[in-house]
């Protein structure tokens, strides 16, 4: 055993660089597999631990205060049999802009008092000011943990919701662990003081919530249907369950961990093939030495074991170091998971978690090494001295040199490529696997290069700069034309509030309706055409594929039992609203919902227009919200201002309570005539979906960018190392031929070029196949995750492929640099 | 006598062996003339092959100059030397060193196409030269492992002369051949020389040396004897052998 080990160590010392490359490949493979395997279970556990710590019920549902009926609670208690159903109140501000560090980002916010929050969870504080400090503050908020871990808020920071241009400044007094509503895509539940709750009640809409522990079968959508059936009313409610919360919070992280494991496995397979290839070429290269050792009395088994040991030692070192790094990366990964989940993650990695990966990696290399090293036994000393029968070439002469074109190096490179077709196939497979991974990572990274901008285009809904919801009685078309006249405005579009309808008894879908679908920027049919008549509809790609619906098929929309059928005219890729969207004309929408009246104007701004300044302008012209004016909180300033504020309040009450649509007033104070009208209340609400979508998509785009960027770099390095090994083995194997060619006048550059060219045919084929594979994977990935169909740009594809081919060429060329060290003299005196 | 084509000035070549410097060539001044068939002889370890590699740009001298057709080649980089060798030098090796994976014709063309553009004329020239050294068409598509030693060396010679080098260098070209094959190969060298090719050959074999027109004898890293002979002719072989033997005996061979 000692002499076998000595032989292995001798080989390792002799081939230090190549041994280092094997160490690197196994290190990276073990590290990547280890890291992702360790953390896969952690994501789920971290959520569960955090949820348990919060003391949260597993479900809460909410209704606007006007929609709520006590009978709804009874349904839960009596029909569903749930105990301890707690009723409480909160105020919700959907798509509310929040100023923080000078940046305004929109979130869906729910404000709740401490006592009301106790009905949902324990309000488990993670970090906070002292009670004295909190008492000293005018307005404080306790934010959910997402703000601390993901959005990087700190205690003492300002948290300023902005509604209709008015700021409501709060100071962050602490963070708490919330079980439900800690997710940027849904709602953030924010604890405020009782006094601030009262102040904000006129600003936002008040909701009633019911909090309880449900069972696995509970479906709040079915429950809402039961409530509507029971009361005969129609309403829009919201539900939050632990399972949905967990799925929403963890799905992307899990997805990327699974994706990373897949990419790591692909990389590992490529590395394994490389090692296998290298063992074979090493044995072929060292045939004479094997002959000498056999002649000296070493048994074939001993020599083959020395090769096995050599690779097990290199891969063992790489595997163990990779495993250690995977363990050491735990705090870093904890941090990433914590940021992505927006929850505290404290867990230490145990050695047993990474041990199967390390053993698996080394074990696989051992198996490959044993299989390949067994070939030593086939060669008795005499055959080995002759370098085996393989060096005797009786193959047909492919690409004879007498037909050489302009470039002898190219010809010789191609000739070499065809001669070593078997090795080439292995190399091609490595490049295909690594290339697929690399291209997938690159495409995805490029898609997210500018943050969430790429994703926004796949939303399947129009993302205008501002959406103005108007009060009843206001003519949306006249307003739209008026807005269109403003120099800042590029385009306006009248639409209706989106509602969800059940379709064919299948999953409900949100309806986007427009008078006509012209100049659409985000809603673009990938198949068919836009709806033009009131009996036509476009559906989302996910709905099309899930329910096998095609253009020309008919669907039936069920609105409170009123069923209306539509013909499908087109399919749209859409990642918004459960990816089950419907698109129809306003007339078509009214067929399904007779009471619908267009009440929104989407506003698209010219390039370079400052949106906030424009919003201020809209507020100054079309006024503040009715709700804010009704609060009567405007009575400051001069007499004229106070009178105008008082008048506004009265008009707001008239409009809100009595449905008055138009008011004019005139007040004489001494000689002064103060006049006004209800025009300032045209606007009910002004929102920017752009900001909301951005705040929801940014975490997704960040994680995607992180994983695919890191993946692309890691795979790029691995490809470079693999190519380096290929080139280096090639030089070693062809040492004699290269020396001869040098003596004939071929420079090192010529020979390096030939080696790089020799892998080009397999590279080109592998890259083309990798492109096709990565396009398919991309399509599946985007559809499965985002319900969208992305089209790969052919120029981008060609450029990426060329870049990959060029990268392969350059890396192989550099890897073949060993040629420079072979002097002709060395060859002669070998 | 032809013009000087290659000369050395204070040429030195030493090797480091376990930290000890071994001076193989010492301050050597010599000259090779165009059209000469120069044979370098000497006892084992006298530096014959080392000198050949230094003269041909296969290796770099430790000190001194090698001036090849007016170009000082001692300071050229490895790649510059490779480019220099293309057009100026042809090599025939003792171990033959054909490319195992190339056919006979491709072996010849591999040497040619790095210097010349492919053309029917070039291919015909390669074929003609192969025919001239006795390798007919049926051999052209064979691989080196299918050839005898003599055949392989003849391919090596054709590969070396295909580019019409200024000097053909040969290092013990018959060292691995039997006597019949050796004679065939030497006849080829003689023919080539008669056609005006300058040749520098290293050998320790008297029969081989007889083919030369000049014999340089190396000892202790320097040329200690320079013997000239007329062009080779079978008719006066006896006298030629006696004279050369006498010279070599004087040199202590």
DSSP for A599-625? Answer: -EEEEEEPTT--HHHHHHHHHHHH-S-
Which residue reads 């349904």 in tokens?
A: A75
**Measured CA distances, A630 to A96, A633, A644, A678, A680 (Å):** 19, 8, 13, 13, 13
How far A724 CA lies from chain B's nearest CA (Å)? 22
User: Comparing A158 with A394, which gets the higher pLDDT?
Assistant: A158
CA distance A478 to A664: 19
Percentage of residues of chain A with pLDDT beyond 70: 92
| pLDDT at site A628 | 61
User: How confident is the model at residue B59, as a pLDDT?
Assistant: 86
B positions 178-217 inside 8 Å of A (CB): none
The ipTM of this complex is 0.89
Determine the pLDDT at residue A6. Answer: 77
Least confident of A80-84, A609-613, A661-665, B69-73: A661-665
For the segment A485-505, the average pLDDT, to the nearest whole number, is: 83
Cα A627 from chain centroid?
37
Cβ atoms of A99 and A192 within 8 Å: the answer is no
Yes or no, beta carbons of B113 and A404 under 8 Å apart: yes
Q: How many angstroms separate the CA atoms of A146 and A126, rounded?
A: 11
Q: How far is CA A293 from CA A13, A289, A619, B162, in A?
A: 18, 6, 91, 41
Q: What pLDDT was estimated at residue A656? A: 66
Q: Of A472-481, A796-805, A820-829, which gets the smallest average pLDDT?
A: A820-829
- Return the top range by mean pLDDT from A181-195, A276-290, B210-224: B210-224
The pLDDT-based confidence of A384 (bands split at 50, 70, 90) is low
- Chains A, B: CB contacts within 8 A come to 106
Q: Which pLDDT belongs to residue A10? A: 78
Measured between beta carbons, the chain A residues lying within 8 angstroms of B113 are 401, 404, 408, 411
Residues of B in contact with A412 (CB under 8 A): 110
> Is A271 in contact with A26 (CB distance < 8 Å)?
yes
Indicate the average pLDDT of chain A. 83
Q: Which pLDDT does position A481 carry in this prediction?
A: 93
What residue numbers bound the domain in which B148 lies? 4-250
**Residue-wise pLDDT tens digits, A421-458:** 877 888 888 888 888 888 888 888 887 777 677 777 77
253 residues of chain B, pLDDT tens digit each: 678 899 999 999 988 877 788 888 999 999 999 999 999 999 888 889 899 999 998 888 899 999 998 889 998 888 888 888 888 999 998 888 899 888 999 999 998 998 888 889 999 999 999 998 889 999 999 999 899 989 999 999 999 999 999 999 999 998 888 888 889 889 999 999 999 999 999 998 999 999 999 999 999 889 999 999 999 888 888 999 999 999 999 988 7
Kindly state whether A747 is in contact with chain B, defined as any CB-CB distance less than 8 angstroms.
yes
User: Does A296 reach chain B within 8 Å, measured CB to CB?
Assistant: no
Burial of A556 (0-12, 13-18, 19+ CB in 10 A): middle
Instruction: State residue A688's pLDDT score.
Output: 76
A673–B contact, CB cutoff 8 A: no
pLDDT confidence bin for A387, thresholds 50/70/90 = low
The answer to which of A23-32, A82-91, B157-166, B196-205 has the lowest mean pLDDT is A23-32
Report pLDDT for A378: 67
pLDDT in tens, A154-179: 999 999 988 766 788 999 999 999 88
Hey, is the C-beta of A391 within 8 angstroms of any chain B C-beta? yes
pLDDT at A788: 78
- Interior CA angle at A432 toward A427 and A435, to 5°? 115
Q: Residue B22 forms beta bridges with which residues?
A: B15
Instruction: Give me the number of domains chain B comprises.
Output: 1
> What is the pLDDT at residue A718?
82
Distance of alpha carbon A754 from alpha carbon A735, whole angstroms: 14
CB-CB neighbors (< 8 A) of B172 in chain A: none
Cβ(A522)–Cβ(A457) below 8 Å: yes
Structure tokens at A659: 């449905």
User: Could you tell me whether strands A554-559 and A525-528 are parallel, antiparallel, or unpaired per DSSP bridges?
Assistant: unpaired
Token pair 């202790």 is at which residue?
B220
Q: Looking at the complex, does the CB of residue B146 fall below 8 Å from at least one CB of chain A? A: yes
- The model's pTM is 0.73
Shortest distance, CA B97 to any CA of chain A (angstroms): 6
When scoring A284, A401, A748 by the number of chain B Cβ atoms within 10 A, the one with the most, hence best to mutate, is A401
What residues pair up with A211 in beta bridges, in sequence order? A60, A86
**CATH label of the domain that carries residue B13:** 3.40.50.300
Residues across chain A: 830
For the segment A744-754, the average pLDDT, to the nearest whole number, is: 92
Burial label, A789 (beta-carbon count in 10 A; 0-12, 13-18, 19+):
middle
Quick check: A571 pLDDT over 90?
yes
Quote the minimal CA–CA distance from A765 to chain B in Å. Answer: 24
Complete DSSP assignment for A349-412: PPHHHHHHHHHHHHHHHHHHHHHHHGGGGG--HHHHHTT-GGGS--S---S-GGG--S-HHHHH
Q: Please state the domain extents for chain A.
A: 1-58+252-392, 89-211, 408-453+692-830, 624-681
- Evaluate if residue A397 carries a pLDDT over 60: yes
Chain B hits for A744, Cβ within 8 Å = 85-86, 91, 110-111, 114, 159
Q: Is A820 on the interface with B (CB under 8 A)?
A: yes
- Give the SS3 label for residue A417: helix
Q: Under DSSP, is residue A552 helix (H, G, I), strand (E, B) or coil?
A: coil
Q: How far is A777 from A618, CA to CA, in rounded Å?
A: 46
Contacts of A754 in chain B (CB under 8 A): none
Closest of A155, A148, A187, A183 to residue A335, by C-alpha: A148
What's residue A762's pLDDT? 92
pLDDT on residue A107: 81
- Closest approach of B228 to chain A, Cα-based (Å): 29
Q: A123 or A534: whose pLDDT is higher?
A: A534
pLDDT at res. A385: 57
Q: Please tell me the predicted confidence (pLDDT) of residue A814.
A: 92
A208, pLDDT greater than 80 = yes
Residues of A in contact with B79 (CB under 8 A): 747-749
């Amino acid at each position: 055993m000692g002499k076998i080990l000595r032989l292995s160590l001798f080989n390792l010392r002799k081939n230090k660089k190549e041994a280092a490359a094997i160490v690197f490949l196994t290190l990276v493979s073990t590290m990547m597999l280890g890291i992702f395997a360790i953390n896969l279970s952690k994501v789920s556990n971290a959520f569960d631990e955090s949820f348990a710590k919060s003391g949260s019920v597993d479900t809460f549902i909410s209704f606007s205060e006007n929609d709520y009926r006590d009978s709804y609670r009874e349904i839960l208690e009596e029909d569903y049999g749930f105990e301890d159903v707690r009723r409480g109140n909160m105020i919700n501000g959907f798509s509310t802009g929040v100023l923080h560090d000078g940046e305004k980002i929109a979130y869906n916010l729910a404000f709740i008092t401490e006592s009301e929050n106790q009905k949902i969870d324990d309000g488990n504080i993670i970090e906070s000011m002292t009670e004295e400090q909190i008492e000293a503050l005018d307005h404080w908020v306790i934010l959910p943990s997402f703000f601390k871990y993901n959005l990087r808020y700190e205690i003492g920071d300002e948290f300023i919701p902005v509604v209709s241009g008015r700021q409501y400044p709060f100071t962050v007094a602490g963070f708490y662990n919330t079980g439900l509503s800690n997710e940027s895509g849904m709602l953030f539940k924010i604890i405020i003081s009782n006094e601030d709750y009262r102040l904000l009640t006129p600003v936002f809409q008040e909701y009633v919530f019911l909090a309880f522990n449900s069972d696995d079968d509970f479906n709040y959508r079915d429950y809402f249907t039961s409530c509507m059936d029971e009361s005969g009313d129609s309403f829009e409610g919201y539900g939050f369950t632990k399972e949905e919360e967990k799925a929403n919070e963890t799905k992307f992280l899990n997805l990327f961990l699974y994706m990373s494991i897949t990419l790591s496995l692909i990389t590992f397979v490529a590395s394994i093939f490389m090692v296998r290839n290298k063992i074979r070429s090493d044995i072929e290269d060292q045939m004479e030495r094997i002959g000498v050792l056999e002649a000296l009395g070493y048994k074939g088994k001993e020599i083959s074991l020395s090769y096995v040991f050599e690779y097990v030692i290199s891969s063992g070192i790489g595997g163990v170091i990779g495993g250690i790094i995977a363990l050491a990366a735990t705090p870093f990964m904890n941090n990433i998971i914590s940021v992505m989940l927006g929850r505290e993650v404290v867990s230490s990695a145990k050695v047993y978690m990474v041990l199967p990966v390390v053993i698996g990696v080394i074990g696989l290399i051992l198996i490959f090494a044993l299989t390949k090293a067994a070939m030593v036994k086939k060669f008795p000393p005499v055959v080995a001295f002759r370098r085996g029968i393989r060096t005797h070439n009786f193959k047909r002469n492919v690409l004879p040199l007498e037909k050489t074109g302009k470039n002898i190096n190219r010809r010789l490179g191609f000739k070499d490529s065809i001669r070593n077709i078997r090795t080439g196939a292995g190399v091609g497979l490595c490049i295909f696997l690594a290339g697929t991974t690399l291209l997938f990572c690159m495409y995805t990274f490029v898609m997210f290069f500018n943050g969430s901008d790429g994703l926004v285009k796949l939303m399947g809904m129009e993302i205008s700069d501002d959406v103005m919801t108007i009060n009843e009685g206001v003519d949306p078309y006249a307003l739209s034309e008026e807005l269109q006249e403003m120099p800042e405005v590029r385009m306006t579009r009248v639409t209706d509030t989106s509602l969800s309808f059940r379709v064919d008894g299948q999953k409900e879908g949100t309806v986007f309706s427009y008078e006509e679908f012209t100049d659409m920027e985000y809603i673009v049919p990938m198949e068919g055409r836009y709806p033009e008549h009131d009996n036509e509809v476009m559906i989302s790609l996910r709905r099309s594929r899930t329910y096998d619906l095609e253009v020309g098929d008919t669907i039936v929309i069920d609105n409170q039992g009123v069923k209306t059928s539509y013909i499908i005219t087109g399919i749209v890729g859409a990642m918004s609203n459960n990816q089950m969207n419907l698109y129809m004309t306003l007339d078509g929408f009214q067929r399904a919902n007779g009471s619908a009246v267009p009440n929104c104007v989407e506003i698209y701004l010219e390039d370079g227009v400052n949106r906030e300044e424009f919003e201020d302008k809209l507020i100054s012209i079309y006024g503040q919200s009715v709700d804010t004016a009704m609060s009567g909180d405007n009575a400051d300033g001069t007499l004229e201002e106070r009178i105008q504020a008082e008048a506004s309040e009265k008009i707001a009450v008239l409009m809100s309570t009595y449905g008055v649509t138009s008011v004019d007033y005139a007040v004489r104070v001494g000689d002064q005539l103060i006049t006004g009208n209800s025009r300032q209340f045209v606007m009910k609400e002004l929102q920017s979906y752009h900001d909301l979508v951005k705040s929801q998509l940014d975490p997704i785009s960040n994680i995607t960018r992180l994983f695919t960027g890191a993946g692309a770099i890691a795979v790029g390095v691995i490809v470079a190392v693999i190519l380096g090994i290929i080139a280096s083995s090639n030089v070693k194997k062809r040492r004699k031929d290269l020396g001869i060619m040098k003596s004939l006048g071929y420079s090192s550059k010529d020979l390096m070029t030939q080696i790089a060219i020799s892998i080009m045919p397999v590279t080109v084929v592998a890259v083309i196949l990798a492109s096709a594979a990565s396009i398919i994977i991309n399509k599946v990935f985007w559809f499965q995750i985002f319900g969208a169909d992305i089209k790969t740009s052919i120029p981008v594809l060609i450029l990426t492929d060329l870049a990959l081919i060029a990268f392969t060429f350059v890396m192989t060329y550099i890897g073949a640099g060993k040629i420079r060290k072979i002097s002709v003299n060395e060859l002669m005196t070998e | 006598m032809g013009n000087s084509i290659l000369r050395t000035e204070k040429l030195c070549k030493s090797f480091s062996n376990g930290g000890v410097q071994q001076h193989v060539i010492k301050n050597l001044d010599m000259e090779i003339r165009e059209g000469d068939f120069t044979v370098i002889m000497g006892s084992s370890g006298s530096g014959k092959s080392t000198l050949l590699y230094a003269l041909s740009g296969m290796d770099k001298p430790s000190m001194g100059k090698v001036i090849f057709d007016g170009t000082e080649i001692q300071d050229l980089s490895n790649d510059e030397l490779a480019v220099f060798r293309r057009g100026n030098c042809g090599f025939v090796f003792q171990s033959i060193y054909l490319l195992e994976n190339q056919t006979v014709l491709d072996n010849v063309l591999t040497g040619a196409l790095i210097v010349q553009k492919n053309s029917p004329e070039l291919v015909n020239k390669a074929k003609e030269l192969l025919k001239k050294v006795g390798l007919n068409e049926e051999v052209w598509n064979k691989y080196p492992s299918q050839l005898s030693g003599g055949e392989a060396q003849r391919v090596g010679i054709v590969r070396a002369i295909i580019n019409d080098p200024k000097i053909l260098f040969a290092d013990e070209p018959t060292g691995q051949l039997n006597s019949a094959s050796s004679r065939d190969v030497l006849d080829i060298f003689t023919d080539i020389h008669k056609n005006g090719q300058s040749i520098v050959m290293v050998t320790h074999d008297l029969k081989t040396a007889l083919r030369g027109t000049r014999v340089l004898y190396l000892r202790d890293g320097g040329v200690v004897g320079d013997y000239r002979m007329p062009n080779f002719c079978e008719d006066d072989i006896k006298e030629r052998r006696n004279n050369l033997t006498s010279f070599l005996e004087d040199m202590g061979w």
